[in-house]
Structure formats: structure tokens, C-alpha cells
Structure 1
Amino acid sequence: MLRLDRINAFYGDSHVLHDVSLEVQEGRLLALLGRNGAGKTTCISSIVGFLPPRSGEVSLAGAPIARLSPERICRAGIGLVPQGRRIFPTLTVRENLDVAARPARADAQRRWDRDAVCTMFPRLRERQGQLAGTLSGGEQQMLAIGRALMTNPRVLLLDEPSEGLAPRVVHEVAEALAELKRQLCIVLVEQNLGVALGLADDVVLLNTGRVVFAGDAAEFKARQGELSAHLGVE
């Protein structure tokens, strides 16, 4: 569903992604791992068009998208839950969801609208009229995920969704992602290794903008001891 083929990305003259390739199949979750500064968020930015790759290709369901604008990439079927949530604090929960609404594809397995999002995250239904900036951190994360789902994406990208959340809320978010991966292709950037490996079907590990491991989660777990140096953990 999503494929990166030897992409190279730069910030000015600084070469930050070096021939990065990965594939994500429909109905699977790929955990994109690496220590801080490894290039994970840059990779997400290259997929969504914030930092178009200087060379290489990004394709969605076989169609090239690397040279499209972020808006057209979103409309093609890429949904983003950014690091830090970035909800609209002065809009209500309902308005945050409605502003992102896009029609579903005719062949979509599930159609996401406000009712479907609130069924997945019941607390959002209770707070539809509440200003988003007054929500708890966990509720804001649920809203950020719900807002991305309102675009009816084919692929959902999540950048550090457990960051700053209490363990109970992290568990709730992980449960939601476990359900979502049966319906969507998901790329998860996550520093919480337990959460990431608990959800992942496949793993790509980056170090200084290069892929140092790509394979299924079981193989990664079997080699975790030797690969831990690339994560900055023992």
C-alpha cells in the first residue's frame, strides 16, 4: 500500500535520509524505530510532502506521490497524527473533527465520520461541544487520531502518539491502534519500545538516516540484543 524506494532528503545542504526504502502492506502496522535524531520524523515529513525527497520515490497503492503537495497527498489517502498532537485549541471537539472530514473511497472497508470516531473514542462524544484546548493530554491525542481518521485515509502515520501520556491512557491508545490496524495500513513512530513491539507486524530501524534493519517484528525481537545499540538502549 505504501512504498518508499531509496529516498534521499535534505535540510538545506544537510543530507538527512540516505536511500531509505520501506514497504507497508494493507492491514499491517510498521514500527519505525530509532534513537532521537535518527530520521524518523524526517521520514514521515517526506511521505506527507512537508520535506519532499530530493531523489527516490514514494508511492501509494502503486501511484507516485512524492512530487505532490501535502494537500494532494492527504486527499490521495495519507492521514497524519503529528508529534505534539497539534489540535486546534480554540475550536470545539466537533469542529476539530468536521474540519478534516473527507469522503470515503467507494471501496473503503470502513467509512469514517464523526459518529464512527466517537464510537472508537467515547470520551470525544461526551466532549463534542468542549474547546479542544481544555481537554486532557490523552483526550487531545484521541482527538488528533480521530481528526486524521476523518480524512478517510488508506495509510495512517502516527508520530510519537504515546508521548507525555499516563500509562493508562497509553494502553487505551494502543488498544485503538490494534483495532485500527485490521482496517488500515499504519506507520508508527514510537519511542516506547514496549508499545511499538506490542503492535508491530513489521519493523524498520533507522540510524543517522539509514536503514539498519528491515523485517518482521518477530525477527527484530530475536535480534533485539544486537540491535539495541541503534536504539540508544541496553
Structure 2
Amino acid sequence: MKKLLVRKLIVITLFFAVVFVSLPNGAMAETPGETLKNMGYVIGFADGKLHENLIMKQGELVALVSRFIRATQIPKEYQFMAEQNSFDRFVNKVYNFFVKNYYNVRLFFIRTYYELTNKEIYPGVREGHYLFNSIVILKAYGFTIPESIDINAKLTSEDFFNILYGMLGFNENEFENSSDVPLPEKYRIIFSLHGKRNSPLLSKKGYLTRGEVFEEFLRLIQTQSSS
């Protein structure tokens, strides 16, 4: 009797295991961090885990935004004119060749200079630092890195938007009477101008976990792609 009961339990366990494995992906929903990792924007720690419950550091957000910029803001091909004939295609090929080589040369000289001199390319960042390659690329392509970033400091909601929009080219100083406008209100205006919903992080106090940052970053880029 006991053997029969054990066999039944084994069969039932195997049945549910097969059903669970065969469920569609939606039944085993990814976390925002896992989604961003699959998109190439998040790498994770040395142990392969994302540790979404840990507090995020400002430098980690810089790495996340820089990967997004590399994937979406830097053209794969450069075009001088609309192509209507073979001559237009020839002009575009020549133009693309020179522009790509221009940026390749900039990358080479910026990287080589900081490697040979061992100077900081950004406060706290030298060759070998996990942000070094990202900042080389950002500098070469003319993207701004806000000066107020402390790469080892814990991230607040204010830091999140300062870094995100500072790196993407928004400048709060463009507001008239900038110092009189509360920072959350500035970002509400930016959200409105770009057709985005107000972020729940605007009212968040304290430090942000990696999971909270991943969730909000994913929401913002999905809003951008659908607008």
C-alpha cells in the first residue's frame, strides 16, 4: 500500500513538473531586470545574478544608460542624403566611411591617452574600472556626463533623473528661473513635453533599489518606443 502511494506521489510530481515547464513564458514572468538583461542593457554581478533587492549606485545607472545610448542613439550607418539613384548611394557610402573613421580615430586617441597617462577619464574612473569603456565611447560621440555624479554613492530618485536626462541631453538650466522650480516639477514638465506619464519615482523618498530602477527605466523606454 505504501509503495503504491509513493508511486502515485512520484507520478503526480512528474506531471506537475512537466506542466510547469511547458507553460508559456507569460506564466513565468521575467523581472524588469531580466528583461533589460535580455535586451543587453544590464549585465549583472560576477555571480551572474542581478540582485535587484540591493541599493543601486550612481555609477551603475551610468553604465545602464550608456548601454542604452550605445544601442539606440549611435547610428549604425550614416546617411548624407536620401537615396534615389546610384550616385546618391555612392555619396552615402563615402560619407558613411569618413564619419565612421572619424569616430574610430576619436575613440582610439581618447582611449590611448587615458590608458597611457593613467589619468581619470571621470572622477573615480581609470583604465580597468567597469565604467572606463562606457565613458570613452560617450566622450568620443559627444554625449554629456553630468559633473555632479558620485559613482560610488547610493542612488536617489533625484539622482536617477539627473543622470538619465543629463546623459540624454536634457538640461534643467534651460528652464527660466531654474532655481525657483522644484526638481520634481521640472521632470513632470519634461514628461508632459515628451508624452510620458509622470514617474512614480518623483515622489519616492530615500534610496532606490536596483529593481526599482530597472522597473522605471524599462517603463520609460517602452513608453518611448510606443510613442
Higher relative contact order (CA 8 A, sep 6+): 1
TM-score with structure 1 length normalisation?
A: 0.25
Query: Which protein has the bigger helix share?
Result: 2
Answer with 1 or 2: which has the greater Rg. 2
